[in-house]
Structure 1
């Protein structure tokens, strides 16, 4: 199938016989579209938002055409204006963080503030999980102002401890397990980010609002 008209806010491509891939402007739009589709009971087994796409998988071939027509009716709702963050309304999760990360001082320097002010900035934000990826339970959290963007490390670490709270560009994330990584580490949380016995398994599923709270080291 050909992509939809450039005048439409979403371009739709066939992704095999039982799936469609919707291409949008950014992660906020992807989360907004995925939420909109779920609210309308789209006939897909999975609706998966990513950085600039939404995958609708597990469609019955007979539902591909009607689903494509449904997508054509989307006009950007319900994206919040201004900073392009998704509209609120999801559950709120508070994560207690010990701010002792090896990159906290570097982030404070990049922001031109003290260590304490950097912590206050981070705990003053309400972020939104817009999609998950990289590892099970790793949520890409949106809402860091563009002027606070920080570069990734020049050389990634070979091992980032589980629970590490980190920044890269305008994203915030929490590493659910030990893994390599090049994000800048602010601190650590003991929260379980991924639990197969929980519904949903991801603590920070897309749409979840996230707030960080400073905690003392145990």
Structure 2
């Protein structure tokens, strides 16, 4: 994991966070994912979960198990030493994967903020849709809701502010933008992102072995579809 300086800090009494940057940064996220893959393949006894984010990685640990091998050091100090001992190793290049194609209907009946978004960006709705759907996005992290994928970065021309007053209910499948991020609500939930479309596919299914449709590091491409196609796919996935 050859890397520039990192920051390691405690997150409560049973987790450590490693931070490469404080911003949404592709280079930093590459290091995050390389570290994530490294510890997936070379697990530390006592580490119970590894959580990647935009530019940081959190290691959750069982303090009692770590204490058994820490030779008198505190669990956080011992784990920090293990992290620093591999920081600087040559990283294995991440495998490139084909983007997942996600159908999205941008019809105004499913996109309550699209008219505002286009006006805010000083674009026609067609131009706004073209800019949003023409780019390949990276899934940087999952959070907020089970299976909610934070993707970036949208074209500078279509970056939008969050809503001043969040909606009490956003329907599952709604596609939104907040700042340079875009994402899809996998479940019905409150939310403050600007809603510019909707996908008919299910993004979280607890009955599956891997319930989340997306994983960190995925590449995603949105494919515009008609309202009729949306309902046909919705019925197929029901």
Class of the TM-score when normalised by the shorter of the 2 chains: 0.7 to 0.9
Q: Distance in 2 between matches of 1:133 and 1:21?
A: 16
Alignment map for 1:82-161 (pairs within 5 Å): 89-100=96-107, 101-161=111-171
Give the corresponding residue for 1:31: 29
Deviations 1:173-217 (A, max 9, x none): 100111111100011111111123334321121111111111111
Q: Which has the higher helix share?
A: 2
Task: Tell which deviates more after alignment, 103-112 or 46-55.
Answer: 46-55
Distance in 2 between residues matched to 1:215 and 1:126, nearest whole Å: 17
Measure the CA separation in 2 of the matches of 1:167 and 1:88: 28
Gapped regions of structure 2 (runs ≥ 5): 70-77, 232-238
Q: How many correspondences in the alignment?
A: 203
| 1:56 aligned onto 2:59 | yes
2:106 aligned counterpart, secondary structure: coil
| Contact preservation (8 Å) 2:168, 2:189 | yes
Contact 1:98 1:215 in 2 (8 A): yes
- Between the aligned partners of 2:95 and 2:159, the Cα distance in structure 1 is 22
| 8 Å CA contact 1:10, 1:74 repeated in 2 | no
**Cα distance change on mapping 1:150 and 1:16 into 2, 3 Å:** closer
1:108 CA drift (Å): 1.1
Distance in 2 (alpha carbons) for counterparts of 1:145 and 1:137:
24
Cα separation, partners in 2 of 1:191 and 1:106, compared to 1, 3 Å: same
For 1:177 and 1:119, locate their aligned partners in 2 and report how far apart those are by CA, in whole Å.
23
Q: 1:69 corresponds to which residue?
A: 85
Match of 1:186 in 2: 196
Shift of residue 76, structure 1, vs aligned partner: 9.6
Q: CA deviation at 1:30?
A: 5.5
Instruction: Assess, with a 3 A threshold, how the Cα gap between structure 1 residues 207 and 153 changes in structure 2: closer, same or farther.
Output: same
Gaps of 5+ in 1: 1-6, 79-86
The C-alpha deviation readout for 1:86-108, integer Å capped at 9, x for no partner, is x7724521111110201111111
RMSD of equivalent CA atoms: 2.7
